[in-house]
Amino acid sequence: MLKYTVSIEIALPRQEVVDLISDPAQMPRWLRGLILHEPVNGVHGQIGTTSRVVFQMGKQRMEATETVTRLDPADLHAIPRSVVVHYDREIVGGGMWQAQRDRIIDAGPNRTRWESESEFRFDGLPMRLMGRLMPGTFRKQSRQHMQDFKAFAEDGTDVSQGAN
Protein backbone atom coordinates (compact mmCIF):
# COMPACT_ATOMS: atom_id res chain seq x y z
CA MET A 1 0.00 0.00 0.00
CA LEU A 2 1.14 3.54 -0.76
CA LYS A 3 -0.30 6.72 0.78
CA TYR A 4 0.64 10.36 0.31
CA THR A 5 -0.81 13.90 0.31
CA VAL A 6 0.03 16.71 -2.08
CA SER A 7 -1.32 20.25 -2.12
CA ILE A 8 -1.15 23.47 -4.08
CA GLU A 9 -2.40 27.02 -3.67
CA ILE A 10 -4.30 28.64 -6.52
CA ALA A 11 -4.70 32.40 -6.93
CA LEU A 12 -8.46 32.31 -7.50
CA PRO A 13 -11.52 32.38 -5.24
CA ARG A 14 -12.67 28.95 -4.07
CA GLN A 15 -15.92 29.02 -6.05
CA GLU A 16 -14.09 29.61 -9.34
CA VAL A 17 -11.75 26.70 -8.58
CA VAL A 18 -14.71 24.43 -7.72
CA ASP A 19 -16.48 25.42 -10.94
CA LEU A 20 -13.39 24.75 -13.11
CA ILE A 21 -12.30 21.52 -11.45
CA SER A 22 -15.79 20.02 -11.52
CA ASP A 23 -16.52 20.87 -15.18
CA PRO A 24 -15.94 17.71 -17.28
CA ALA A 25 -15.59 19.78 -20.47
CA GLN A 26 -12.51 21.50 -18.98
CA MET A 27 -10.76 18.30 -17.77
CA PRO A 28 -8.76 17.61 -20.97
CA ARG A 29 -7.37 21.16 -20.80
CA TRP A 30 -5.62 20.53 -17.46
CA LEU A 31 -5.58 16.76 -16.87
CA ARG A 32 -2.53 15.74 -18.87
CA GLY A 33 -3.02 12.67 -21.04
CA LEU A 34 -6.80 12.46 -20.58
CA ILE A 35 -8.44 11.05 -23.70
CA LEU A 36 -11.84 10.10 -22.35
CA HIS A 37 -13.87 10.62 -19.17
CA GLU A 38 -17.42 9.43 -19.73
CA PRO A 39 -20.09 8.38 -17.25
CA VAL A 40 -21.13 4.76 -17.73
CA ASN A 41 -24.00 5.26 -15.31
CA GLY A 42 -25.09 8.27 -13.31
CA VAL A 43 -24.25 11.96 -13.70
CA HIS A 44 -20.69 13.31 -13.66
CA GLY A 45 -19.58 14.26 -10.16
CA GLN A 46 -22.55 12.71 -8.36
CA ILE A 47 -22.38 9.98 -5.71
CA GLY A 48 -22.54 6.51 -7.23
CA THR A 49 -21.61 7.62 -10.74
CA THR A 50 -19.28 5.22 -12.51
CA SER A 51 -17.17 6.55 -15.38
CA ARG A 52 -14.78 5.10 -17.90
CA VAL A 53 -11.49 7.01 -17.87
CA VAL A 54 -8.76 6.64 -20.49
CA PHE A 55 -5.30 8.23 -20.34
CA GLN A 56 -2.51 8.13 -22.93
CA MET A 57 0.97 8.69 -21.48
CA GLY A 58 3.47 8.44 -24.30
CA LYS A 59 3.01 4.95 -25.74
CA GLN A 60 1.25 3.66 -22.62
CA ARG A 61 -2.56 3.66 -22.53
CA MET A 62 -4.32 3.28 -19.19
CA GLU A 63 -8.01 2.58 -18.74
CA ALA A 64 -9.76 2.87 -15.41
CA THR A 65 -13.20 2.70 -13.90
CA GLU A 66 -13.85 5.65 -11.62
CA THR A 67 -16.63 5.59 -9.04
CA VAL A 68 -17.59 8.61 -6.95
CA THR A 69 -18.10 7.05 -3.51
CA ARG A 70 -18.45 10.10 -1.28
CA LEU A 71 -19.21 13.76 -1.69
CA ASP A 72 -19.34 16.15 1.26
CA PRO A 73 -21.71 17.93 1.06
CA ALA A 74 -24.00 16.70 -1.70
CA ASP A 75 -24.12 20.28 -3.05
CA LEU A 76 -20.56 21.42 -3.90
CA HIS A 77 -21.58 25.07 -3.77
CA ALA A 78 -23.12 25.02 -0.28
CA ILE A 79 -20.07 24.61 1.94
CA PRO A 80 -17.97 27.67 2.80
CA ARG A 81 -14.66 25.94 3.72
CA SER A 82 -14.00 22.59 2.05
CA VAL A 83 -15.24 19.81 -0.18
CA VAL A 84 -14.18 16.17 0.06
CA VAL A 85 -14.65 13.89 -2.93
CA HIS A 86 -13.62 10.23 -2.92
CA TYR A 87 -12.82 8.37 -6.13
CA ASP A 88 -12.07 4.68 -6.47
CA ARG A 89 -10.16 3.66 -9.55
CA GLU A 90 -9.77 0.06 -10.54
CA ILE A 91 -7.10 -0.03 -13.21
CA VAL A 92 -8.36 -2.48 -15.82
CA GLY A 93 -5.88 -5.35 -16.11
CA GLY A 94 -3.30 -3.34 -14.21
CA GLY A 95 -3.60 -4.75 -10.70
CA MET A 96 -3.95 -1.37 -9.01
CA TRP A 97 -6.69 0.31 -6.95
CA GLN A 98 -6.67 3.99 -5.99
CA ALA A 99 -8.75 6.09 -3.63
CA GLN A 100 -8.37 9.85 -3.90
CA ARG A 101 -9.76 12.39 -1.46
CA ASP A 102 -9.75 15.99 -2.69
CA ARG A 103 -10.38 19.05 -0.55
CA ILE A 104 -10.91 22.48 -2.07
CA ILE A 105 -10.39 24.95 0.79
CA ASP A 106 -10.87 28.71 1.01
CA ALA A 107 -7.37 30.02 1.81
CA GLY A 108 -8.16 33.74 1.97
CA PRO A 109 -9.19 36.49 -0.39
CA ASN A 110 -8.86 35.16 -3.93
CA ARG A 111 -6.80 32.17 -2.69
CA THR A 112 -7.76 28.49 -2.70
CA ARG A 113 -5.85 25.48 -1.39
CA TRP A 114 -6.32 22.11 -3.11
CA GLU A 115 -5.28 19.17 -0.96
CA SER A 116 -5.32 15.67 -2.42
CA GLU A 117 -4.76 12.46 -0.46
CA SER A 118 -4.06 9.32 -2.49
CA GLU A 119 -3.99 5.71 -1.43
CA PHE A 120 -2.90 2.92 -3.76
CA ARG A 121 -3.18 -0.84 -3.34
CA PHE A 122 -1.37 -3.19 -5.67
CA ASP A 123 -2.20 -6.74 -6.77
CA GLY A 124 0.34 -9.10 -8.26
CA LEU A 125 4.10 -9.11 -7.80
CA PRO A 126 5.01 -6.72 -10.66
CA MET A 127 2.63 -4.01 -9.43
CA ARG A 128 3.67 -4.45 -5.78
CA LEU A 129 7.32 -4.08 -6.77
CA MET A 130 6.57 -0.97 -8.79
CA GLY A 131 4.71 0.54 -5.83
CA ARG A 132 7.64 -0.13 -3.50
CA LEU A 133 10.46 0.83 -5.87
CA MET A 134 8.88 3.89 -7.48
CA PRO A 135 6.61 5.63 -4.94
CA GLY A 136 7.93 9.03 -6.01
CA THR A 137 6.57 8.49 -9.52
CA PHE A 138 2.99 8.41 -8.23
CA ARG A 139 3.47 11.54 -6.10
CA LYS A 140 5.18 13.33 -9.00
CA GLN A 141 2.27 12.59 -11.34
CA SER A 142 -0.27 13.86 -8.77
CA ARG A 143 1.76 17.05 -8.29
CA GLN A 144 2.00 17.49 -12.09
CA HIS A 145 -1.82 17.30 -12.41
CA MET A 146 -2.15 19.97 -9.71
CA GLN A 147 0.45 22.24 -11.32
CA ASP A 148 -1.27 21.83 -14.68
CA PHE A 149 -4.62 22.74 -13.12
CA LYS A 150 -3.09 25.82 -11.44
CA ALA A 151 -1.57 26.97 -14.76
CA PHE A 152 -4.90 26.39 -16.52
CA ALA A 153 -6.98 28.14 -13.85
CA GLU A 154 -4.69 31.13 -13.37
CA ASP A 155 -3.22 31.62 -16.86
CA GLY A 156 -5.37 29.59 -19.28
CA THR A 157 -2.52 27.18 -20.09
CA ASP A 158 -4.01 24.23 -21.99
CA VAL A 159 -2.01 20.96 -21.69
CA SER A 160 -4.09 19.32 -24.43
CA GLN A 161 -2.39 21.64 -26.94
CA GLY A 162 1.15 20.58 -25.96
CA ALA A 163 3.13 17.39 -25.76
CA ASN A 164 2.24 14.87 -23.08
Q: How far apart are CA 144 and CA 154, in angstroms?
A: 15
**Tens of pLDDT along 107-163?**
999 999 999 998 888 877 777 777 777 778 889 989 999 999 999 999 999 998 764
Domains of the chain: 2-30+66-154 (3.30.530.20)
What whole-number distance in Å separates Cα of residue 153 and Cα of residue 17? 7
- pLDDT tens profile 31-45: 999 999 999 999 887
Are 8 and 147 in contact by the 8 Å Cβ rule? The answer is yes
Q: Which pTM was predicted?
A: 0.82
How far apart, in Å, are the Cα atoms of 30 and each of 35, 64, 106, 107, 141?
Answer: 12, 18, 21, 22, 13
Q: Looking at residue 68, what is its pLDDT? A: 81
**Confidence (pLDDT) at 66:** 83
Can you give the pLDDT at residue 73? Answer: 59
